[in-house]
Amino acid sequence: MPKFSITGDIDPFLHVSLAHGEKIYCESDAMVMMEAALDLKGKVTGGIGAAIMRRFANGESFFQQHIEAVRGEGDCLLAPRLPGAMQVLDVGQQQYMLSDGAFVAATSGVELKVRTQSLGNALFAQSGGFFITETAGVGQVAVSGFGSMSQLDVTPGRDVIIDNSHVVAWDSALRYEISVTTGGNSGFLSNLVNSQTSGEGMVLRFSGHGKILICSRNGAAFQAWAQRGVAQ
């Protein structure tokens, strides 16, 4: 299986080592460097329908880069769209949900599936609209977050509340719901006012057992700023 590792301290690279015949796929424009033994092609992963769904789910490009070691073993360096940390997740016994823009690369044994989520989460959570990305299969997936990244462990009876713009990925076994409050059981109007005056906006409440990856910077704000810059 291809070997993923993070190299560099600030805005690191994803270093991938591939044996002859191995392949990975990654977000469009992720490739920074590759050795001559490797081939890169743009492909529609999983068919046109799946590509369209992933585009709606987390803003991925319609075409993804597929890198294969066709002339012997070789290495490549990949970089995410957002400036900040990366982390490699082992997929198999545990599967993960990915937030908008978090996906960087995956080994060929990992599939990115798209599923629908509740109306409330779709309208307010900014976690992929009516569709959200979930991993399947066995292998590794690399994700990125804006700024530094940290892991939180959720255990039964100790729910965690997180600003949705700082969530990168989470264990698919966790339950989550959108909320407009970080406090107690006040009325909806009171919660809405508190949400606006505290500056937190919408938050996600996670419960159950599993881990969550969070980033230190507001990824949604950065992507909005970057899109305005491109438009200008």
Judge whether 76 lies within some domain.
yes
Local structure of residue 182 (DSSP, 8 states): S
Judge whether 173 lies within some domain.
yes
**Distance, CA of 76 to CA of 67 (rounded, Å):** 9
Judge whether 137 lies within some domain.
yes
User: Is-contact 91 153, C-beta < 8 A?
Assistant: no
Judge whether 53 lies within some domain.
yes
**Distance, CA of 12 to CA of 86 (rounded, Å):** 7
Range of the domain at 186: 3-227
Judge whether 121 lies within some domain.
yes
Local structure of residue 155 (DSSP, 8 states): B
Judge whether 10 lies within some domain.
yes
The domain total for the chain is 1
- Identify the CATH number of the domain in which residue 166 sits: 3.60.160.10
Judge whether 232 lies within some domain.
no
| pLDDT in single tens digits along all 232 residues of the chain | 999 999 987 889 999 999 999 999 998 889 999 999 999 998 766 555 555 555 555 555 557 899 999 999 999 999 998 889 999 999 999 999 998 789 999 999 999 887 665 544 444 444 434 467 899 999 999 999 999 999 999 999 999 999 888 999 999 999 988 776 555 554 444 444 444 444 445 788 899 999 999 999 886 655 554 555 544 4
Local structure of residue 216 (DSSP, 8 states): S
